[in-house]
């Protein structure tokens, strides 16, 4: 069991059975109601392991969120608040979020707004949530196609990362998680970027050491700037374009990680044009990422719709589109004002894009 110093809460990596969860449930929450939030898949694949191993959870109420990013909406949160009210859940009770980033983002939001805030514990079950979404206290829901437009910063009481949950994760969801691992390397640690790509090239064999390096990067950046006033913004690399791609293609089901992977290639392209990223580094990023993730075939209408969404991005300030750019691999800076016309030019560049892998 590895314990990592987080923002005043417990962050433990390893088997849940060796973690402090049992103690937390039987001491701090001995007399509290326990609510477990899952989605359809984590209900099927992950819930048993939790309930059968923790006596204190045998009587827990289970609430199932519908799977899929298009359901990360306020109306679903409202249904959960109504269920919590029916179950007479109070402010001293505890909500356990067992799932991927959808469940930890929505569950944290639901808990932190319910009766002005009740405690929650995150137990991420997807790779993406383990290395990124469950860490750092960003919670929220989408507003139609605008990603995470409604939300609050709220830290969990504890975060338990147990890699054994990954055994049932589908391959495409692994790939989605690897995108955020690539991001952690690209913005902070060139060696990590190379190691993640080597791991992916070697049939994605799971590597706990890489997982922990990624968790530490996310945790350290958040520790420095919990409310995203400055350096935490670098974690948004790839997300300015990634979020509009994810939002625009939400119904066709492009995963968060896939959209961010494409966003990183495009923001690396902007970094080469505007911020001195070398041609060689750009080419390495492009060929590494595009050998695993494909760019959708944009039509002119798709591009127009995405440009309109960009103007409403959360990171914008004073009507300027703000974006993170790389200086080199492992060094990222934030708050670059990038003209809308350059985003348009970039999306046009990647229209019907064929990568030359030679
Ligand atoms: N809060 C943050 O800082 C932050 C950071 C990155 C991403 N996010 C958010 O996270 C979400 C993406 O996270 P995600 O990729 O985990 O999405 P997700 O929660 O939708 O999970 C992806 C799929 O994997 C399934 N799944 C999860 N664990 C499983 C398991 N162990 N076995 C089988 N199936 C399993 C889910 O049911 C779902 O179908 C997006 O909403 C994104 O905005 C938040």
Residues 6 or more apart from 126 whose CB is under 8 A from it?
99, 100, 101, 166, 169, 173, 176, 177
User: Do 212 and 183 belong together in one domain?
Assistant: yes
Question: Looking at the domain assignment, is residue 354 inside a domain?
Answer: no
- Please determine, for residue 59, whether its predicted confidence score (pLDDT) is greater than 50: yes
**Residue 344: exposure state from Cβ atoms within 10 A (0-12, 13-18, ≥19):** middle
User: Do 109 and 217 belong together in one domain?
Assistant: no
Question: Looking at the domain assignment, is residue 356 inside a domain?
Answer: no
Question: Looking at the domain assignment, is residue 357 inside a domain?
Answer: no
User: Do 32 and 109 belong together in one domain?
Assistant: yes
Question: Looking at the domain assignment, is residue 323 inside a domain?
Answer: yes
User: Do 218 and 88 belong together in one domain?
Assistant: no
pLDDT in tens, 8-40: 899 999 999 999 999 999 999 999 999 999 999
User: Do 76 and 184 belong together in one domain?
Assistant: no
Find the residues whose C-beta lies inside 6 A of ligand 1.
Answer: 39, 41-42, 45-46, 67, 69, 72, 99-103, 105, 125-126, 128-129, 132-133, 136, 138, 147-148, 165, 168-169, 173, 176, 255-256
User: Do 141 and 271 belong together in one domain?
Assistant: no
Residues 6 or more apart from 317 whose CB is under 8 A from it?
335
User: Do 199 and 337 belong together in one domain?
Assistant: yes
User: Do 104 and 198 belong together in one domain?
Assistant: no
pLDDT in tens, 39-58: 999 999 999 999 999 999 99
Q: What backbone phi and psi angles, to 5 degrees, belong to 354?
A: -115, 120
Catalytic residues: 116, 138, 180, 218, 228, 232, 236, 239, 243, 256
User: Do 157 and 208 belong together in one domain?
Assistant: no
94, β-bridge pairs = 34, 119
* CATH code for the domain of 10: 3.40.50.1970
User: Do 157 and 77 belong together in one domain?
Assistant: yes
User: Do 153 and 222 belong together in one domain?
Assistant: no
Lookup result for tokens 């911020």: 275
- Please determine, for residue 357, whether its predicted confidence score (pLDDT) is greater than 60: no
* CATH code for the domain of 309: 1.20.1090.10
Q: How confident is the model at residue 62 (pLDDT cuts 50, 70, 90)?
A: very high
Give the global pTM.
Answer: 0.96
Task: Out of 73, 100, 130, give the residue to mutate to test ligand 1, the one with the largest number of ligand atoms within 8 Å of its CB.
Answer: 100
Picking from 168, 202, 221, the residue at the C-terminal end of a domain is 168
The number of residues in the chain equals: 358
Q: Which DSSP symbol is given to 227?
A: T
Question: Looking at the domain assignment, is residue 191 inside a domain?
Answer: yes
Residues 6 or more apart from 39 whose CB is under 8 A from it?
64, 65, 66, 67, 99, 100, 102, 103
Picking from 147, 168, 189, the residue at the C-terminal end of a domain is 168
Overall domain count for the chain: 2
Domain encompassing residue 84: 2-168
Beta strands in the chain (DSSP E): 2-5, 10-13, 34-39, 61-65, 94-99, 119-124, 138-143, 146-153, 158-161, 321-328, 331-338
Distance of alpha carbon 228 from alpha carbon 204, whole angstroms: 32
Region 344-353: mean pLDDT is 93
Beta strand 94-99 with 61-65 is unpaired
Question: Looking at the domain assignment, is residue 239 inside a domain?
Answer: yes
| pLDDT score recorded for residue 352 | 81
Distance of alpha carbon 152 from alpha carbon 58, whole angstroms: 31
**Which atom of ligand 1 is least distant from the CA of 243?**
43
Lowest-confidence region among 169-178, 231-240, 246-255, 283-292: 246-255
CA dihedral 335, 338, 344, 350 (to 10 degrees): -60
| pLDDT score recorded for residue 358 | 44
**Which atom of ligand 1 is least distant from the CA of 180?**
6
Region 62-87: mean pLDDT is 97
Picking from 168, 190, 207, the residue at the C-terminal end of a domain is 168
User: Do 55 and 186 belong together in one domain?
Assistant: no
């Amino acid at each position: 069991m590895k314990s990592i110093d987080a923002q005043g809460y417990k962050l433990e990596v390893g088997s849940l059975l060796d973690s402090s969860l049992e103690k937390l449930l039987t001491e701090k929450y001995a007399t509290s109601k326990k609510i477990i939030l899952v989605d359809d898949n984590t209900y099927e694949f992950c819930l048993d392991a939790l309930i059968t191993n923790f006596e204190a959870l045998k009587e827990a109420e289970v609430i199932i969120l519908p799977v899929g990013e298009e359901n990360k909406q306020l109306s679903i949160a409202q249904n959960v608040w109504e269920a919590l009210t029916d179950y007479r859940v109070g402010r001293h009770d505890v909500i356990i979020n067992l799932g991927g980033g959808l469940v930890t983002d929505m569950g944290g939001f639901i808990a932190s707004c319910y009766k002005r805030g009740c405690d929650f514990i995150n137990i991420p079950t997807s790779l993406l949530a383990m290395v990124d979404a469950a860490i750092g206290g960003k919670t929220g829901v989408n507003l139609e196609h605008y990603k995470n437009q409604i939300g609050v910063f709220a830290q969990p009481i504890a975060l338990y990362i147990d890699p054994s949950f990954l055994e049932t994760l589908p391959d495409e969801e692994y790939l989605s998680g690897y995108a955020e691992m690539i991001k952690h390397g690209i913005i902070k640690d060139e060696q990590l970027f190379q190691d993640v790509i080597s791991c992916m090239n070697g049939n994605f064999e799971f590597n706990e050491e890489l997982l922990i390096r990624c968790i530490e990067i996310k945790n350290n950046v958040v520790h420095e700037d919990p409310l995203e006033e400055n350096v935490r913004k670098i974690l948004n690399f790839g997300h300015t374009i990634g979020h509009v791609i994810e939002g625009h293609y939400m119904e066709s089901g492009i995963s968060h990680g896939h959209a961010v992977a494409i966003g990183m290639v495009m923001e690396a392209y902007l970094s080469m044009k505007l911020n001195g990223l070398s041609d060689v580094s750009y080419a390495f990023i492009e060929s590494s990422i595009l050998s695993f993730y494909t760019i959708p075939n944009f039509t002119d209408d798709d591009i127009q719709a995405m440009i309109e969404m960009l103007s409403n991005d959360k990171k914008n300030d004073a009507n300027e589109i703000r974006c993170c750019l790389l200086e080199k691999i492992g060094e990222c800076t934030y708050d670059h004002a990038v003209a809308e016309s350059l985003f348009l030019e970039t999306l046009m560049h990647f229209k019907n894009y064929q990568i030359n892998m030679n």
